[in-house]
Structure 1
């Protein structure tokens, strides 16, 4: 079916008006601009500030926060690698906590992971005074960058063999549900 010249001109004017309105709204900030075109990098201790804090609920949990301090977006892949007091073994990862997508941090944004420190099933506990955090690579078969050394709560934290860490999450509630 062919349109008459008059109908083609009408549709062209309508499309032009819609495009002009959309561009005007974008310029005024009413419509979000396209996402950053800067290619994300992998988050590391050099491009983030890592902190840890004790939480009220759930019991025996800490909240690990990594805030992107760099100028580029970064990916917080998988779960952080944790070592308390420079123990030989890394803290176990809670694989059930895998998010639906890799957490991407724009500059200034944060990712969160929960640390379960002890349980009735745990054994061989000790009072930990230092925490080392490494960022996982994409394949989760190694780490990237150096150690972040966030301060543990005053007096340290009791940690036993049941300790675990979750995958990075985009909000603290998702991290602490484990």
Structure 2
């Protein structure tokens, strides 16, 4: 099974790991297998079409404000009046102005990671909005086990019609394929620490503080087949892919 991965730089500062991608094409896809010596790093452009997962906000000005409703994952989202995140911009910690949604991240959510028995070799990520504001989960989570230097690309066929949006108290989900059931994966190892990073309003931008959900004491086995879904509104969509 040939998987797509993105490069990931090591963390600096506190518990947050920065997203970093190296250019290779224009479709935001690539492959990386740290244990199998094969790598192609992806790139994503903020001017990409919606079919590649790019999110844009109509009416955006040079100052970052918006006057109309934007789009996310190629579909309309709530009207925003605050600044729109740009690639490489500073972290968004869950604050905002007015009634516009903020980004979901480690500062305003509770994140759990739970291996499941079905489908085989899968794990479920659950993000619950613990803040007082509606928050958005753009694209897919960027995962890092222990000190690994690559992260799985999101499975393109799981991209939802609209960006996953969580009201206070609501939960969103992502499914993780940990390893190939037929043993075709390479570089298998056991991870004992998981870092979940959040993307911003544009592909591969920093969405704010990461989360470090607990894993089972014995760890989680994964190989080069490691793949993650886009954030989903319900549990079934996250696992049935």
Class of the TM-score when normalised by the shorter of the 2 chains: 0.7 to 0.9
Map of 2:18 onto structure 1? none
Asked if residue 129 in structure 1 is aligned to residue 192 in structure 2, the reply is yes
Map of 1:80 onto structure 2? 141
Map of 1:152 onto structure 2? 215
SS for the counterpart of 1:143 is: coil
Question: How far apart are the structure 2 equivalents of 1:86 and 1:50?
Answer: 20
Map of 2:166 onto structure 1? 105
Question: How far apart are the structure 2 equivalents of 1:121 and 1:177?
Answer: 21
Map of 2:104 onto structure 1? 43
SS for the counterpart of 2:208 is: strand
CA shift for structure 1 position 141: 2.2
Structure 1 gaps of 5+ residues are: 1-36
Question: How far apart are the structure 2 equivalents of 1:95 and 1:86?
Answer: 25
Question: How far apart are the structure 2 equivalents of 1:141 and 1:127?
Answer: 26
Map of 2:80 onto structure 1? none
Greater helix fraction, Structure 1 or Structure 2: 1
Of the structure 1 ranges 165-174 and 144-153, higher mean CA displacement relative to structure 2 is found in: 144-153
The one of 218, 230, 236 equivalent to 1:167 is 230
What TM-score, normalized by structure 2, do the two folds share?
0.57
Task: Kindly name which structure, 1 or 2, has the bigger radius of gyration based on alpha carbons.
Answer: 1
What TM-score, normalized by structure 1, do the two folds share?
0.77
Q: How does 1:59-98 map to 2 (within 5 A)?
A: 59-98=120-159
SS for the counterpart of 1:147 is: coil
Cα displacement string for residues 70-108 of structure 1 (whole angstroms, at most 9, x for unaligned residues): 110000101011001121111222111101100110000
CA contact (8 A) 1:86 1:131 kept: no
